[in-house]
Amino acid sequence: EAGVVQSPRYKIIEKKQPVAFWCNPISGHNTLYWYLQNLGQGPELLIRYENEEAVDDSQLPKDRFSAERLKGVDSTLKIQPAELGDSAVYLCASSLQGHGYEQYFGPGTRLTVT
């Protein structure tokens, strides 16, 4: 069974430019997460979806970040405009819906903003 797929794996952009990340979760996983991970830190939740609904976006910087999961399957995370401090790894994860289920992570997208 295919795991969580993310693209691109790496992205280098200049500050103030837009960037988008794509994630396809494991088939049958209704819950999808976007995390940000800085070097030496644990993942920090940006947004969680249950099907198409964003049920927790309290940590998403809404002035520049946006996300969508239109058909309840794959998802896109966008940053516009990017800032130097946005350089990090962006991880997507998915799980079955409900509590107590483990998350499965994709390989991440390493973003460098110059």
Partner 1 sequence: EDQVTQSPEALRLQEGESSSLNCSYTVSGLRGLFWYRQDPGKGPEFLFTLYSAGEEKEKERLKATLTKKESFLHITAPKPEDSATYLCAVQAPPGNQFYFGTGTSLTVIP
Residues forming the site for partner 1 (CB under 8 A): 4, 33, 40-45, 55-56, 91, 93, 98-108, 110
d(CA 59, CA 62): 9
d(CA 102, CA 79): 27
Compute the least distance from the CB of residue 98 to partner 1, in Å.
Answer: 8
Instruction: Tell me how crowded residue 6 is: count the other CB atoms within 10 A of its CB.
Output: 21
Q: What are phi and psi of 22, to 5 degrees?
A: -120, 145
**CB of 12 or CB of 16, closer to partner 1:** 12
Compute the least distance from the CB of residue 16 to partner 1, in Å.
Answer: 27
**CB of 81 or CB of 107, closer to partner 1:** 107
How far is C-alpha 113 from the chain's CA centre?
Answer: 17
Compute the least distance from the CB of residue 61 to partner 1, in Å.
Answer: 18
**CB of 17 or CB of 97, closer to partner 1:** 97
